[in-house]
Amino acid sequence: MKHMLATAAAVLLLSAGPAFADRTEPTLYATANVDGDPSEWDLTQDFFANMYRAGNPTKPLEAKAYARYDCLTQTMYILVLAEPGIPVLVDGDHWIAIGSQANKVVGDSSGDDGVAPDFAFVGVNYDGDPNHARGYEASFPLAAPGDYEIIIHTNVFDDGVTQTGATTGFPGDGIPIHIACTPVATESATWGAVKSLIIQ
């Protein structure tokens, strides 16, 4: 119940711009399960940024990134999915950084123990190749409210060779991301308290 109140209390603001243009804020303040199963993600609502070859928007689109933020636990969740026909390389270099490449907050060696940072590949062996995946899920702590720059990085196999797929700004500071959460109660909520909030 407390988690539901925290989610409901979050500030939900859509960034202006056409569908699938990079955003500066998660459109959904909610949690996700980093388990390699992306079924809880909404690929329209959760879309965050395009990931181009070498992070250059004049080069081919290699993948897309999706974002959610849990205000209660101050945890960011990211889903990366490669474009159709382009596999993510399981033995590649996959990470997310805040502010600069030197500040990686999660990567493919982070493991998945249910405590952020967590990392899990999505769809390993989906095309019959055990070194191929559709993408990955990741989580990491990020304080709110706050303004940051984020770099989301993956390696894919495209045009017959390994390619970098990254958000714009790579290899520099990354793209801006704004996290906005209203204050939430820390004590346990009761149904009486919830009714009181609704009535008032």
Contact predicate 96/138, CB 8 Å: yes
pTM score above 0.85? no
Q: What is the CATH number of the domain that holds 21?
A: 2.60.40
Dihedral angle, C-alpha 128, 132, 135, 137, nearest 10 °? 100
In sequence order, what are the residues at sequence separation of 6 or more whose Cβ sits closer than 8 angstroms to the Cβ of residue 58? 52
Helix count (H) and strand count (E) of the chain? Answer: 2, 12
Q: Residue 93 and residue 151: Cα distance in Å, rounded?
A: 13
Give me the pLDDT at residue 27, please.
Answer: 67
Residue ranges for the chain with pLDDT beneath 50: 1-20, 184-200
Helix (H, G, I), strand (E, B) or coil at 149: strand
DSSP one-letter string for 121-161: EESTTTTS-TTEESEEEEEEE--SSEEEEEEEEEEEEETTE
Give me the pLDDT at residue 23, please.
Answer: 62
Structure tokens of 82?
A: 């490669």
Domain that holds residue 190: 2-199
Q: Residue 138 and residue 75: Cα distance in Å, rounded?
A: 10
Give me the pLDDT at residue 29, please.
Answer: 83
Q: Residue 129 and residue 86: Cα distance in Å, rounded?
A: 12
- Structural domain count of the chain: 1
Instruction: Give the residue from 74, 86, 100, 85 showing the smallest Cα distance to 153.
Output: 100
Contact predicate 25/47, CB 8 Å: no
Question: What residues pair up with 138 in beta bridges, in sequence order?
Answer: 78, 119
For 81-131, the pLDDT digits (tens) are 999 999 999 999 999 999 999 999 999 999 999 999 999 999 999 999 999
In sequence order, what are the residues at sequence separation of 6 or more whose Cβ sits closer than 8 angstroms to the Cβ of residue 193? none
